[in-house]
Structure 1
Amino acid sequence: MEGAVISIASAAVAVEQQQPGKMVESELMKANRDESFKTFLWNSETKQFLGRTGSSWLKIGVFYLIFYACLAGFFAIMMAIFYQTLDVNHLPKYTPGRGDSILKNPAMGFRPLPRAENVESTLVWYKNGDSADIQHWVESLNEFIKPYEGTSDMISGQHVTDCSEDKLPGDGEVCRFQDTWLKGKCQKAESWGYNRESPCILLKLNKMIDWVPDVYTSVEELPADMPQSLKDHIQERTDENQGKVPKMIWVSCKGENPADEEYVGPISYSPWQGFPSYYFPYRHTPGYLPPIVAVQFEQPQSNVLINIECKAWAKNIGHDRSNRLGLVHFELLKD
């Protein structure tokens, strides 16, 4: 029994003697690591910083300086060659009118646009007789029509000429379009009809470089799905034009659904029910203004949301509601 106790005591003494040795060894390893890291940062004996001498850092710095300079020069040369294929001032390389673009069908736009907080909306909503409420719509149209008044600094009149079907614009010329051609309440002086319960919407075709409309040349060519009212109008204009169909991109507007057609009321157009073909093609000529069609809704039903769809008609204009090609949709609500 006494021998067992003596053995245990001896083992305890041995452990106590070994523990200080392990602690010293751990402290030495830590000190060595710290010293190695400091030596890596700066070795005073070899004069090395981060494992390299000054001459080594100089050589690698010069190498990368030359490498990235050559890379930047190569990129600049490639960009210069690329820009030689583009006409950045006038016509792009690929245009819809030449058939080498995926964009082959024009879209339509309308004014006035909703307020900035509802920029994605297509709702024209105003309170009849409330001057403060209609102010946004009137000011939006006033701003849009400024270039057509000749009061905008962005438009130069040096290339503008009077055009007709028999007098097309020459090279570097554009056809005149004036705000005074708009009739009825679709004028700035009439507040665009918003104070008279007969609001006006301005339509335009989006600009497509070198796109030329393929217009209808006879009444027999008119498509079956064209509204009968537009067919009758084209026939009337043809009779007035000595049997020749005017060269126009025709426009029709109507309620999108049967209920909307009932509520929308009479519609009138000015200066024409369409866009004359001599305004096309668009070639980015300074001073060019796209033709517009003013659509006046003479007696729309109050307190009813009316869905309206306007379409452009020509042989090479298709209609696609999902992509809004060849047509424009908006809602009208008059409180």
Structure 2
Amino acid sequence: MTKAFNRKKTKEELKQEFKIFMYNPATNAYMGRTPIRWGVSMHPIPTSDGLIFSSSNKNFWEKAKPFVRNLDNYLSKYSQPQNGSNAILCNDRTVLEKDQICKLDMTEVFPTNSPCTSKNSYGYYSGTPCVLLKVNKIYGWKPDLYKKDELPKDLPANRFFANKISMNCFGAKAHDQKNLGTVIYIPNEGIDIKYFPYYGQKQYRPPFVWAKFLNATRGTIVNVKCKFFAKNIQIRHRVDIRYAAFELSIE
């Protein structure tokens, strides 16, 4: 009986594996961690090949169902009221103690007649999907915001809002931008800085923004990037951690 032969890897192969571990250009992962885990994250979670799918055709609803279910599951953690003594209603002048948090204003993300709710399946059965985007919890991080006269080129003036973490979704390339169509944001202004910094406080809930894609070209794949803008969300080890990237497919 022939014994299995386990070939010892060469130094060059080991060196290449280490390089891929440090930075994998196929996945944009740094040390095994993707940009989503470093900076910005999204729900629903795309498929393994990065796809978000939506359709107004009932024949395709089964394919869209996992995205609706993922959003329902994620948002369930927001269903309980923030009743602890450390959770307070904030305004622009509120000064927090380190163990205090601003209550998340759910009317900001679920306004009256919101197009992004479980009741309307977050638009996934109408071909107008909603994507939830948030900045990951980073202990002690406080956003360093841009001023109006120093905006980066990928933040249009109409998407800049003072005292907010502004955000913008756009096509990765020119043909993607053409096929992307109209995007609306809820809340339109982005994320209020009153919810930062995070110090591990009890009952803390990460604020988020909806991006809703109203009329992306059907029957094609649109490569989308949704980006938050603050000076201290930066490119790290060649990985731009300021955005979530996915492929949008509408049928």
TM-score, reference length from structure 2: 0.75
Separation in structure 1 between the aligned mates of residue 106 and residue 125 of structure 2, nearest angstrom: 19
Determine if the alignment matches structure 1 residue 334 to structure 2 residue 247: no
Question: Which residue in 1 is equivalent to 2:88?
Answer: 161
Separation in structure 1 between the aligned mates of residue 129 and residue 196 of structure 2, nearest angstrom: 28
Question: Which residue in 2 is equivalent to 1:222?
Answer: 151
Question: Are the counterparts in 1 of residues 55 and 125 from structure 2 also a CA contact under 8 Å?
Answer: no
Separation in structure 1 between the aligned mates of residue 235 and residue 91 of structure 2, nearest angstrom: 28
Deviation at 1:300, TM superposition (A): 1.0
Question: Which residue in 2 is equivalent to 1:282?
Answer: 198
Amino acid at match of 1:135: K
Q: How many residues align?
A: 209
Deviation at 1:264, TM superposition (A): 0.7
Give the percent of matched residue pairs that are identical in Structure 1 and Structure 2. 26
Question: Are the counterparts in 1 of residues 165 and 191 from structure 2 also a CA contact under 8 Å?
Answer: yes
Determine if the alignment matches structure 1 residue 192 to structure 2 residue 122: yes
Q: Which gives a bigger RCO, structure 1 or 2 (Cα 8 Å, sep 6+)? A: 2
Amino acid at match of 1:167: T
Give the alignment of 1:66-145 within 5 angstroms.
Answer: 107-114=39-46, 118=48, 121-130=49-58, 131-145=61-75
Deviation at 1:219, TM superposition (A): 1.5
Deviation at 1:169, TM superposition (A): 3.1
Separation in structure 1 between the aligned mates of residue 236 and residue 174 of structure 2, nearest angstrom: 20
Separation in structure 2 between the aligned mates of residue 127 and residue 188 of structure 1, nearest angstrom: 16
Question: Which residue in 2 is equivalent to 1:206?
Answer: 136
Question: Which residue in 1 is equivalent to 2:158?
Answer: 232
Separation in structure 2 between the aligned mates of residue 221 and residue 214 of structure 1, nearest angstrom: 13
Question: Are the counterparts in 1 of residues 55 and 127 from structure 2 also a CA contact under 8 Å?
Answer: no
3-state SS, counterpart of residue 188 of structure 1: coil
Change (3 A) 1:200 1:321: farther
Deviation at 1:332, TM superposition (A): 0.6
Separation in structure 1 between the aligned mates of residue 237 and residue 184 of structure 2, nearest angstrom: 24
Question: Are the counterparts in 2 of residues 185 and 198 from structure 1 also a CA contact under 8 Å?
Answer: no
1:269-306 per-residue CA deviation (whole Å, 9 max, x = no partner) reads 01233211111111011100111010000111111100
Question: Which residue in 2 is equivalent to 1:256?
Answer: 172
Runs of 5+ unmatched residues, structure 2: 1-36
Compare the two structures and name the one with the higher strand fraction: 2
Amino acid at match of 1:107: G
Separation in structure 2 between the aligned mates of residue 171 and residue 320 of structure 1, nearest angstrom: 28
Please point out which of 314, 321, 327 is paired with 2:230.
314
Amino acid at match of 2:158: D
Deviation at 1:320, TM superposition (A): 5.9
Runs of 5+ unmatched residues, structure 1: 1-104, 238-245
Amino acid at match of 2:233: I
Deviation at 1:172, TM superposition (A): 1.7
Deviation at 1:137, TM superposition (A): 0.9
**Which has the greater radius of gyration?**
1
TM-score, reference length from structure 1: 0.57
Change (3 A) 1:150 1:267: same
